[in-house]
Structure 1
Amino acid sequence: MKTLKRLTLILCTIFFSFTAQSSFAQYPESPVKIIVGFPPGQATDLVARYMAQKFAENIPGSNFIVDNRAGASGILGSRIVAGATPDGLTLMMGSSATLAVNPALYKDLPYDVLRDFAPISLIAIVPQYLVVNPDLPVKNIKDLVELAKKSPGQINYGSGGSGVTNHLIMELFKQSAGIDMTHVPYKGGPAALTDLMAGRISVMFETGPGAIPHIQSGRLRAIAVSSAQRAAATPDIPTVAEAGYPTFQAVAWIGLVAPAKTPESVIKKLSEISMSALREKEFAAKLAALGAVPVGNTPGEFRSFIEQELKRWAVAVKLSGAKVD
C-alpha cells in the first residue's frame, strides 16, 4: 500500500511538472501587457514600443501591448506590476527613476524593488552631458572645478527639478570634485536649458536629445559625458572619469522586469530575445536617436546592476536633500 501511494505521488508530481512546462512552452497564450509608468512619447515608452515589436516578431502568434499608466513619478505603474499575477502576461519597462531613485526619494513606497520584481534585462543606458554656457571661462572639467573652488557657491547649476536625475547626477559630481555650486531647480529640462543658453545659470547635466543640438549649434559647450565610456554619438567629448574622477559613472537607464516569481523559462526567453534585438544595428540606431546606448544582459546581471544602482542613487538623494513624503 505504501509503495502504491509513493508511486501515485511520483506520477502526480511528474504530471503537474510536465503540464506547467508545456503551458509555458506555449507562452504567451494571451496578449502580454508591458506597463510603462510614464506618458506616451517619453523615452521609456518609446523603448517599450520597440521591444514590444521585437517580442512579437520573435514569438510567433504573440501580441505585446504597451499600456501607459502614468502618474506619481512611475509609482502607479510599478505598483500595478508588483501586484500582478506572475504568469508573464504583465511586464514593466522600468527606469532608473522607478527602480533605483524612487526607493530613496519616497518614504512610503508601495513596492520593494528587489522583493517584488524579477529582472529580465537592462535595455539601455542614457548618458548625460555636462554642458556650460559658452561665456563661462571653462573649457573642461578641470577649469570648472578650479572656478568653483575659487568661488564656492557662486556658480549656479540648473536641473529639471528637485530629485530628478540631472539634479542627482550633479550632486554626485559635486561630491566627487569637492566643490560647492548652487542648485536652481526648474519645471523640466527644457526650461533649464533655455536659461542656461541665456546665461541665467552657468552649468547643468542634460540628456543627449536635449543637449546635442545646442552643442552642435555652439549655443552650449559640452565638457564631459557622465557614462563610463564615451558616447558613440559624440566620441570627441571625454567622460567625467577621464577628467580625473575614475570611479564616476551616473546614467539614467531603462530596463525590463516582471512580477517576482514569474517562471524562469519566461524570464529566460524574454531576456534572450532582448539581448538578440539589442545587437541589431537598426535597433541600436533607434536607441541612439533617443540618446540611449543599447546594453542587453542576463537576469542575474541586471539584478546585480539594480543592487548597485539602489546604493548609488541613495547616496545621491541624501546629498541632494530631496525627499517626497
Structure 2
Amino acid sequence: MNESDFPTIQRRDYLKWMGAAGLAASGLSSHAQSAWPNKPIRWIVPFAPGGTSSIVARTIATELTKQMGVSFIIDNKGGGGGVPAMQEAMRLPADGYTIVMSHIGLMAVNPLIYPDSGYDVNKDFMPVTLLSRVPSLFVVHKDVPATDLKSLIAYVKSRPGQLNYASAGNASAGHLAMEALKLASGMFVTHIPYRGTGPALNDVLAGRIQLFSAGTPALLPHIKSGALRCLAVGTPERISVLPDVPTVAELGFKDFETVQWYGITARAGTPQDIVIKLQQECAKAMKSPEVIAKYAAESAIAGGGPPSEYGAFIAREQARWKDVVIKGQIKPG
C-alpha cells in the first residue's frame, strides 16, 4: 500500500501526518525496511494492568506475535494521565520498535489540560490505526439503591457531593464519560482518580466507591456476576451483550454518546513502510477468528483502517471533547 492507494480527500491528511515519516523512510535502504521487525516490539500502554486498554492490547498483540514472528511486549506505565508514558516514548528512536496504545485521553484531552507536557500529539506522534471502539457502560455497586438511571439521578441529587465515582485517571475515557453524564443530568458526584481501571475497579467492587464508567471488556464479568449493576450504555443504540440495558440517549438525554476507543500511535519520523506494514498486520489480526469472537463478546467495533483514517478520527474527537473538558473543568490531578 502506498500514498496513491488512498482517496484524494484523505491524501492531504495522510501527508500531514506522514510527511516526516516519508522523509525518514527515504533515508533507509529497502533491505533495512524489509527486515523490520527482527526483534521484539515494545507496546507502551499508559495505564495500570487490568483495564480495557490492556485487554485490547493483549488481544491484538497475541495475533501480531503469531503473524509477524516477533514478540509484542506489553509495558503498562500508569500514572500522570499518560503523560509520563508519552514522554518516555518521545525519548526512544522512531524505528518502529516502540509503539503506544493511544486513546481518547492521550490524543483528545491531554493536549488541552497538559499544555506543558513537552510534546505535541499532532506533531511528535503519528497515527497507525484504530484498533477498536468499545461501548462505555455506566455502573453502580450492587448496594447502591438505584435500579435505573432515573432513580440514580434522584438518589444523587438528594445527596449532593456525598457519592463518589472512580476513574482510571484524569482524562481517561471513564473520567470523560462520567463528566459528560454529569453535565447532561445535573448530578453532583465527586471524582476519585486512580492509576488505571484495575485499581479503580477494585475499590468499586469493594463498595468504597459507588459509581464507575468503563468499557465492556473490564466490566462485563462483574455485571454478569451481580457485583455491579449496569444502568445505561453510552452508545447511540443498545448493545447486543446487554440488550435490556437502555442507552443514555433513550432515557431523555438526546444525542448523548460516549464510547471508548483504542489505537496504535508511533513516534513521528517512523518510516512510512513500517507504519503501513503494522497497520496492515493489525487489519489482518482483526479478521482472525479469535479477535472476531472476542470483539463480538464485548460488542466492540473493530478498526484496522489506514493511518489517514485514524488521524481524521482523532481530529474529530479532539474537536468533540473540547466542550466537555471546558464545561466540566477537567484539569490535571
Partner of residue 13, structure 1:
none
Deviations 1:248-277 (A, max 9, x none): 222232211111132222222211221221
Partner of residue 181, structure 1:
188
Partner of residue 87, structure 1:
95
- One-letter amino acid of the counterpart of residue 310, structure 1: Q
Alignment of 1:122-141 (within 5 A): 122-132=130-140, 139-141=147-149
> Which has the higher mean CA deviation after the structures are superposed, 247-256 or 155-164?
155-164
Q: Tell whether 2:277 aligns with 1:261.
A: no
Partner of residue 159, structure 1:
166
CA distance in 2, matches of 1:144, 1:40: 30
Partner of residue 194, structure 1:
206
Match of 2:251, SS?
Answer: coil
The 1:233/1:260 distance shift into structure 2, 3 A limit, reads same
- One-letter amino acid of the counterpart of residue 192, structure 1: V
Partner of residue 129, structure 2:
121
CA distance in 1, matches of 2:226, 2:39: 51
Deviations 1:110-142 (A, max 9, x none): 221111111111112332222346677755445
Partner of residue 3, structure 1:
none
Higher relative contact order by CA 8 Å / sep ≥ 6: 1 or 2? 2
What is the CA distance between 1:144 and its match in structure 2? 4.8
Match of 1:181, SS?
Answer: coil
CA contact (8 A) 1:284 1:293 kept: no
Partner of residue 323, structure 2:
315
Q: Tell whether 2:85 aligns with 1:77.
A: yes
CA distance in 2, matches of 1:131, 1:77: 29
CA distance in 2, matches of 1:172, 1:294: 24
Match of 1:189, SS?
Answer: helix
Q: Which of 96, 104, 112 is the equivalent residue of 2:112?
A: 104
Partner of residue 291, structure 2:
283
Partner of residue 67, structure 2:
58
Unpaired runs of 5+ residues, structure 1, are 1-15
- One-letter amino acid of the counterpart of residue 255, structure 1: G
Partner of residue 28, structure 1:
37
Unpaired runs of 5+ residues, structure 2, are 1-24, 195-199
CA-atom RMSD, angstroms? 3.6
The 1:100/1:123 distance shift into structure 2, 3 A limit, reads same
Q: Tell whether 2:305 aligns with 1:297.
A: yes
Q: Which of 219, 243, 254 is the equivalent residue of 2:251?
A: 243
Partner of residue 7, structure 1:
none
User: Identity of counterpart residues, as a percentage?
Assistant: 31
Deviations 1:72-128 (A, max 9, x none): 333233123234333323222223333333323324212211111111111123322
Partner of residue 47, structure 1:
56
Match of 1:123, SS?
Answer: strand
> Which has the higher mean CA deviation after the structures are superposed, 302-311 or 315-324?
315-324
TM-score (ref. length: structure 2): 0.74
Match of 1:266, SS?
Answer: helix
CA distance in 2, matches of 1:272, 1:232: 28
What is the CA distance between 1:244 and its match in structure 2? 3.6
Partner of residue 16, structure 2:
none
The 1:31/1:308 distance shift into structure 2, 3 A limit, reads same
Deviations 1:216-242 (A, max 9, x none): 344543221113443332233232233
TM-score (ref. length: structure 1): 0.75
Aligned residues: 302
CA contact (8 A) 1:32 1:64 kept: yes
CA contact (8 A) 1:83 1:259 kept: no
Match of 1:120, SS?
Answer: strand
Match of 1:317, SS?
Answer: helix
Larger Rg: 1
The 1:290/1:238 distance shift into structure 2, 3 A limit, reads closer
CA contact (8 A) 1:32 1:90 kept: yes
Q: Tell whether 2:239 aligns with 1:227.
A: no
Deviations 1:20-77 (A, max 9, x none): 3443233324443323334455543443343333233333xx4233252625333233
The 1:280/1:246 distance shift into structure 2, 3 A limit, reads farther
- One-letter amino acid of the counterpart of residue 321, structure 1: Q
- One-letter amino acid of the counterpart of residue 166, structure 2: S
The 1:49/1:37 distance shift into structure 2, 3 A limit, reads same
